[in-house]
Amino acid sequence: MKNNGYDAWLRYDKVKDDGLASQYREWTAEIVASEAAVEGPVASAIKELQLALPRLIGQTPKLVEEKAASKRFLAIGTLNSFSYVEEAVQGPIAALNDDEGYLLKTITAADCSYLVVTGKTERAVLYGVFHLLRLMAQGESIQSLQLAEQPKYRLRMINHWDNMDGSIERGYAGRSIFYRNNELLVDSPRIVDYARLMASIGINGIAINNVNVHRAETFLITDKLLPQVAQFAAIFRSYGIKLFLSVNYAATIELGEVDTADPLDPRVQEWWKQKAEQIYSVIPDFGGFVVKADSENRPGPFTYNRDHADGANMLGEALKPYGGLVLWRCFVYDCHQDWRDRSTDRARAAYDHFKPLDGRFLDNVILQIKNGPMDFQVREPVSPLFGAMPNTNAVMEFQITQEYTGQQRHVCFLIPQWKEVLEFDTKVKGDGSTVKEIAAGSIHPYAHSGITAVTNVGDDDNWTGHHLAQANLYGYGRLLWNPELSSEQIAEEWVRITFPDSDAVQQLLVKFLLESWSIYESYTSPLGVGWMVTPHYHYGPDIDGYEYSKWGTYHFADHKGIGVNRTVASGTGYTSQYEPEHAARYESLETCPDELLLFFHHVPYTHVLHSGKTVIQHIYDTHFAGVERVEYWIERWKELAGEVDEQRFAHISGRLQEQLENSKEWRDIVNTYFFRKSGIADEKGRTIY
């Protein structure tokens, strides 16, 4: 038996329980859909049912007219689209006031019984159908359904870092699904299947090119390529997804049409207005622009002594007549700064740049803020900028692609990390000002808010390089729909619909996924210090090697101690960017959490943690333990031989072996480095070279 992972969580394996299969056949033998369902998301929902049901229950549904329906059927359509839907909706249902909320309800009447999937928009109906199929794939009864759901976040977005030559920046799953050799793959069947995957987890926005927009990608907004970009947009539109593009801030210069990119120059303003008009003439529902400016050598308004508000608002004005958005990234810092000056702190950059501009941005501009103040490290505090600008729209940015967390060669289930971020209470408006509520627009009256993330998708057969990395992509969408889901619930759900119906497989994989983040952290970066990776590639250990640390390191280790002093009392003052309660907690050695100690403090190797261990012994112990935990899970995985299809079993086995070898490399290099720095031996007498 072979499985290359292409179907991901839309495998629709045959239902083994005869009773459930019979129930599903009864309720889905016939589909009654609104007459308008000839294209668009409802049409896509029907196609999905026609694909899924033969696999699940060996029965292809018949599409019938309302008047020709039998005594039991499935009715799908928007509110008020036909009588069966109207009868199902009795009384106020909160979810149905939302453009994307849906209702699944079983109706039993004297003359017929039917199952309704409905919502205010076609997009809502599509989400409801995917939910129904998810229930069936998990073996849940649909006999007496009464379920209404709506998403927590308005914008649920994916960012691709794909280049037109076919490469992907920070891509660990093959080449781009959109581009090859500066051509657009508009006829690739993968695009439709990718749209299906994204719609099934509720994604409603996708940017299809790299934020580091090179010259080739600039041409995506020209006469030559826009018609092909529009073909991508049409595919995504049929699955309820808006298409966005990353743009080069200096496109006016790159395309040789204006000799400046000054946002206050009328020629530049007019150029972007004409460009917006051109884009919307071929893509009427175009989502807008994603912009990285004045960071890591990218062009921006600083060149002209303007600020980020000037730059973002110029683009916002161009898009505003069409309802378009500008997502302006807050990943802004000077990569050439002198790290020998310990008062220069990259962690401060986003807050220092943007906080003074609160209230100056247009209402269709959204600041895109990374979850932490640095760069998607395995452990860092929540960015203090999130929630700190009550008068400026904001979205949280996560990273699904495992740039610093094993690059899809290591298992690292990121949902627990993201849950921790979302549950963080910023205190910006007192207790309850959690990140998850700020991102939902519940704390500040944002016109636009939500969450976005850099995806981990490429053209590998299994989409994500590592079969188990699919769990991060699936989990991201599910978490954005409902952040109250636990990490365990999401892991269980993904495993049940992606792997064989086996208790042994499901229990082992769920437990492994839930432990994997802490395993990866244990043999890599200790106590929040971060960055000890090979330059440029960001894979494997190089304690002093990060590319922007030629004037120093990010950990400031010497023979006396380790860590970055970010206190107000004697360091960079970064702690002051938090609300007073958190500022005080991080400022004090007594109250700073162990897992973030070295992010906030420079301490002696003999400093005793809350755990009772010294810092140096913690480093030794965790790095030895990390390798042992990988070895343990390799042995546990071997137990599933014969339970999991051969192709996936062999692939995961190979990746686990690579993870083991790399974890040993991390252990040996990190422990040796700090043994030689500190001169303090391992109290347990283990060999350190």
Say what angle helices 122-137 and 189-200 make with each other, to 10 degrees: 80
Distance, in Å, from the CA atom of 106 to the CA atom of 102, rounded to the nearest integer, reads 14
Q: Where are the beta strands (DSSP E) in 54-128?
A: 62-64, 72-78, 102-108, 113-119
Please name the residue that has the structure tokens 């029907």. 46
Q: What is the DSSP string of 319-363?
A: HGGGT-EEEEE-----TTS-TTSTT--GGGHHHHHHGGGTT-S-T
Distance, in Å, from the CA atom of 587 to the CA atom of 585, rounded to the nearest integer, reads 6
Say what angle helices 226-237 and 189-200 make with each other, to 10 degrees: 40
DSSP-derived secondary structure letter, 576: G
Nearest one of 594, 595, 577, 575 to 586, comparing CA atoms: 575
Specify burial of residue 635 (Cβ count, 10 A radius: 0-12, 13-18, 19+).
exposed
Percentages (nearest 5) of helix, strand, coil residues in the chain: 40, 15, 45
Please name the residue that has the structure tokens 């995917």. 130
CB 433 within 8 A of CB 146: no
Nearest one of 203, 136, 104 to 479, comparing CA atoms: 203
CB 136 within 8 A of CB 56: yes
Query: CA angle 377-381-383, nearest 5°?
Result: 95
Active site residues: 296, 375, 403
- Half-sphere exposure (Cβ direction) of 118: Cα atoms closer than 13 Å: 30
Distance, in Å, from the CA atom of 271 to the CA atom of 504, rounded to the nearest integer, reads 61
356 forms beta bridges with: none
Rg (CA), the chain: 26
147 forms beta bridges with: 104
Distance, in Å, from the CA atom of 566 to the CA atom of 572, rounded to the nearest integer, reads 5
Nearest one of 366, 357, 253, 360 to 300, comparing CA atoms: 253
CB 299 within 8 A of CB 293: yes
Please name the residue that has the structure tokens 């261990």. 613
Distance, in Å, from the CA atom of 272 to the CA atom of 579, rounded to the nearest integer, reads 39
Distance, in Å, from the CA atom of 115 to the CA atom of 374, rounded to the nearest integer, reads 49
Distance, in Å, from the CA atom of 396 to the CA atom of 328, rounded to the nearest integer, reads 12
Helix or strand run (H / E) with residue 634 = helix 615-638
Please name the residue that has the structure tokens 């309704």. 116
DSSP-derived secondary structure letter, 428: B
Name the amino acid, one letter, at 534.
T
